[in-house]
Structure 1
Amino acid sequence: MSHLKLIKLMYLADRLSMERYDAPMSDDAQYSMKNGPILSNTLNLLRGITRDEVWSDLISPVDHNQVQLNRDFDWDELDELSRGELVILDEVFARFGRMKRWELVNYTHTLPEWVDPGASCIPIDAAVTFQALGSSEELARDKSATLAARRRLGQKLSEMS
């Protein structure tokens, strides 16, 4: 699969999780880039900028813009994912999996939270995404603040370990 397609599918899964559960699945930083929204740490894993043993055990490095599974795996190995998250992954793939990478880029360019950053990148404001998903402006700000607090707590906890 194209790494561009994979990053778009993963972003769309995070977005659907935000719609259903008020939080993205990956808790990764979301950015607008010229080819649409991305998950920052995930893109760094795909590009080999960041290394992770679990990721590299399952996903190949990008080769000619393509990635593949390094090995077969059992779904039970993905015990970090809840049943609801697995359902989201299935739904996103059922809806968008047949699209080609540039079709996904074009689709994600229609999402209200994506802003054309030119040659740069711009953080996506979670409040804008929540509003696009149907929350009022006030509720979207509250949900966004809760996410930011959760991320700060996660960072503090990881610093302690």
Structure 2
Amino acid sequence: MEFNYDPIKTVQTAALFLKMNGEKPMKYIKLIKLLYLADKAALKLMDETITGDKYVSMNYGPVLSKVYDLINHGPERDPDNPWFNHISSPSDYCVTLLDDPGDDELCEEEEKIIETIYKTFGHINVWKLSEITHHMPEWQDPHGSAIPISIDDILKALRKTEDDIEAVHKNIEKENYFNLLLAS
């Protein structure tokens, strides 16, 4: 059971991290780690993620699957994604903010989570940050491959109870149902 990927909230979250970085180029691996940490913190505090992305264990730690594809495969993979209007293609393994997407889709609690994650981890070197994520219980060494990380894996790592996990599942079902209604 997974959340629905939200391309606008994802790009707004990435943009906030890049703005907090002084709009200087940021190693995209670091940006992906910050996005993962923000989603994990939101899951802990709000029982939902910010981006709705799916996660995988890769050699450098947990990765947001869709964001990783956007960065590494560009617009040919998803030409309508707003990411490409606001975040640069990688250059020297870095991305920059091209145009501010605003933050109107993010609630106040999500913005506080993003700020806290940046204050806590934004100053850390990309390789040290990658090493930190290797010690997260939901990460498994993929030995050059990619292993899916389920929401349940993260919730268990956060020491959520079975009742808490079931409540998150129900919220995901409700979200999926409302999205289905809106789409029809």
For the superposition of Structure 1 and Structure 2, which TM-score range results when normalised by the shorter chain? 0.7 to 0.9
With normalisation by structure 1, the TM-score equals 0.85
The letter for the 2-side match of 1:66 is C
Gaps of 5+ in 2: 1-25
Aligned-residue CA RMSD in angstroms?
A: 2.1
The match for 1:50 is 78
Name the counterpart of 1:2: 27
Aligned to 1:32: 57
Distance 1:154 1:32, change over 3 A: farther
| Deviates further, 148-157 or 58-67 | 148-157
Displacement of 1:141 in angstroms is 3.9
* Contact 1:17-1:24 at 8 Å conserved across structures: yes
2:128 maps to 1:103:
yes
Aligned residues: 156
Say if 1:131 and 1:140, in contact at 8 Å, map to a contact too: no
Q: Could you say if the C-alpha distance between residues 80 and 144 of structure 1 is closer, same or farther in structure 2, counting changes exceeding 3 Å?
A: same
- Are the structure 2 counterparts of residues 126 and 140 from structure 1 closer, same or farther at C-alpha, using a change threshold of 3 Å? farther
Q: Distance in 2 between matches of 1:55 and 1:153?
A: 26
> Percent identity of the aligned residues?
33
Q: Which residue of 2 aligns with 1:132?
A: 157
Scaled by the length of structure 2, what TM-score is found?
0.76
What does 1:8-157 align with in structure 2 at a 5 Å threshold? 8-47=33-72, 48=74, 49-71=77-99, 73=100, 77-136=102-161, 138-139=162-163, 141-143=165-167, 145-146=169-170, 149=173, 152-153=176-177, 156=180
**C-alpha contact 1:7 1:42 (8 A) present in aligned 2:** yes
Between the two structures, name the one with larger relative contact order (CA 8 Å, sep ≥ 6): 2
- Runs of 4+ in structure 1 off by over 2 angstroms are 49-54, 143-158
